[in-house]
Every structure is written in structure tokens, then in C-alpha cells.
């Protein structure tokens, strides 16, 4: 049963520190998405890759967030420097062209 994996599952850090979240998409899926979930905003799309190329990152604060896909088995989301308002659950999803399958999420707390 293929699944999207994400690491770490939980991260507590201090304001100003760099945070890196990793995602392994389902083998064979050519699209990868990063979402953020907060109580106030719900689920928001941050960035989207297709065939490893970033196609849409309009939902991402550009000054501190960056998303990359160095190879087909790894997608990363970096926050530098982190701020308390970045505290949220970050989900990675991979998909065929019709359905997105979500990973378990990384719960981030920035103190």
C-alpha cells in the first residue's frame, strides 16, 4: 500500500531557526503539493511541483519559504528564519492528475 511519507512528524524550534521538512511522494506520481493547515486559515496550498519543476508557489511567503524537489523521490520545504506564526501542520501530497494523496503531516511549533 503506497503512501506519502513525511519527516519529521513533529518539530519544535525557536524563532529564527531554520526548519527543513521532507516528503517522499508515492512512486510514479508526477505532481507534488505542499499545504499548510491552521485553525484560522484551514488548508492552504503553498507550492506545487510537476515532474520536479516548481509550477506554482504563489501561496508561499517568498522571503522565508523555499520549496525544492532535488529528485523524484524527495521534496523539501524550508523556512528560514522561522517565526511563531509559521506554527502549523504542513502536509505534502502527491498525485496522479486526478487525485491527491496526503502524507501524515509535519506538526511545527515555533517558539
Partner 1 sequence: AQKVTQAQTEISVVEKEDVTLDCVYETRDTTYYLFWYKQPPSGELVFLIRRNSFDEQNEISGRYSWNFQKSTSSFNFTITASQVVDSAVYFCALSEAFTLMDSSYKLIFGSGTRLLVRP
Binding site for partner 1 (CB under 8 A): 31, 33, 42-43, 45, 48, 50, 55-56, 89, 91, 93, 95, 97-105, 107
- Nearest approach in angstroms of CB 16 to partner 1 is 26
How far apart are the C-alpha atoms of 30 and 38, rounded to whole Å?
A: 27
- Taking the least distance from each CB to partner 1, the nearer of 72 and 81 is 72
Nearer to partner 1, 45 or 74 (CB): 45
- Shortest gap between Cβ of 107 and partner 1 (angstroms)? 7
Residue 37 half-sphere exposure, CB side, CA atoms within 13 Å? 12
Closest approach, Cβ 11 to partner 1, in A, equals 14
> For residue 45, what is the DSSP state?
E
Q: Please identify which residue in the block is written with the cell numbers 523521490.
A: 73
CA distance 75 to 34: 9
Residue 81 Cβ vs partner 1, minimum distance, rounded to whole Å: 26
5-7: strand order across its sheet: 5-7, 19-24, 74-79, 65-71
Measured from the CB atom, the residue of 81 and 101 that comes closer to partner 1 is: 101
Amino acid at each position: 500500500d503506497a503512501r506519502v511519507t513525511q519527516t519529521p512528524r513533529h518539530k519544535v524550534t525557536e524563532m529564527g531557526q531554520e526548519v527543513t521538512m521532507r516528503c517522499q511522494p508515492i512512486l510514479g506520481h508526477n505532481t507534488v503539493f505542499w499545504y499548510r493547515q491552521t485553525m484560522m486559515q484551514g488548508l492552504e496550498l503553498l507550492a506545487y511541483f510537476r515532474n520536479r519543476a516548481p509550477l506554482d508557489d504563489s501561496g508561499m511567503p517568498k522571503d522565508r519559504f523555499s520549496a525544492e524537489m532535488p529528485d523524484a523521490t524527495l521534496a523539501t520545504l524550508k523556512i528560514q528564519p522561522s517565526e511563531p506564526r509559521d506554527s502549523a501542520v504542513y502536509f505534502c501530497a502527491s498525485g496522479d492528475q486526478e487525485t491527491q494523496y496526503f502524507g501524515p503531516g509535519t506538526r511545527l511549533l515555533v517558539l
